[in-house]
Amino acid sequence: MNAYEAYMKEISQPMRDELTEAGFTELVSPDEVDEFISSVKGTSLVVINSVCGCAAGLARPAAIKSLENDNRPEHLVTVFAGQDRESTARMRDYLEGYEPSSPSMAILKDGQVMHFIPREHIEDYEVEEIVENLTEAYDKYC
C-alpha cells in the first residue's frame, strides 16, 4: 500500500464506521457483492458511501435517521466509492439503468432495484427531505 492509499484508508475509516456502527454491513469485494445479491431475500438498503461533503452531511445521516422508522429494510449494506473500487463497480452492475453516482442509495427487493436516490437528489437537499424520500420508499416496498 502506498502512502496515498494508507492516508485515504485512515481518513475514510470514520466514514465507514458511521454506517457499520448503525448496522450496515460493508461489502468490500466483488465476491461479497455477488454473494449478497444472489442470496438476499426481502428488502435491502444499499448505500454507496463517499468521502464527499454531501455524503458526510446528508447521505449517511439521512440513511441512519431513516432507520428510526418502524417500517424499514431487512438488510443494510454499503460499498465505498473511491475506496473499494471493485466492490462498488460490481454493485453498480446490479443497479442497471442508473448512472453511477456517489453518494447514492438504493432500495432492493430480492436483489432487484425498486427505488434509487442519485447524488442529484442528495446534494442540496435537507436531511429531512432525504429521510422522507427513503421512508416513503420503505412504506411502498418494505
- pLDDT of 1 > 80? The answer is no
Catalytic annotation, pick one of 8, 54, 56, 89: 54
116 within domain boundaries = yes
For the domain that residue 28 is a member of, what is the CATH number?
3.40.30.10
Tell me 47's DSSP state: E
The model's pLDDT over 2-59, given as tens digits with 9 standing for 90+, comes to 898 888 888 899 999 999 999 999 999 999 999 999 999 999 999 999 998 888 899 9
Kindly state whether residue 2 falls inside one of the protein's structural domains: no
And the C-alpha cell for 136? 416513503
3 state SS of 130: helix
Structurally, the chain folds into a number of domains equal to 1
**Is residue 100 assigned to a domain?**
yes
Residue 142 known to be catalytic: no
Report the pLDDT value the prediction gives residue 7, as an integer from 0 to 100: 87
Q: Is 7 domain-assigned? A: no
Q: Which of 27, 46, 48, 52 is catalytic?
A: 52
**pLDDT digit string, tens, across residues 75-88:** 999 999 989 999 99
Q: Which domain holds residue 80?
A: 13-137
Q: Is residue 34 part of a domain?
A: yes
Q: Which of 135, 3, 1, 142 is nearest to 69 (CA)?
A: 135
Look at residue 64 and tell me if it is in a domain: yes
pTM attached to this predicted model: 0.95
Give the pLDDT of residue 111: 94
Q: Is 54 a catalytic residue?
A: yes
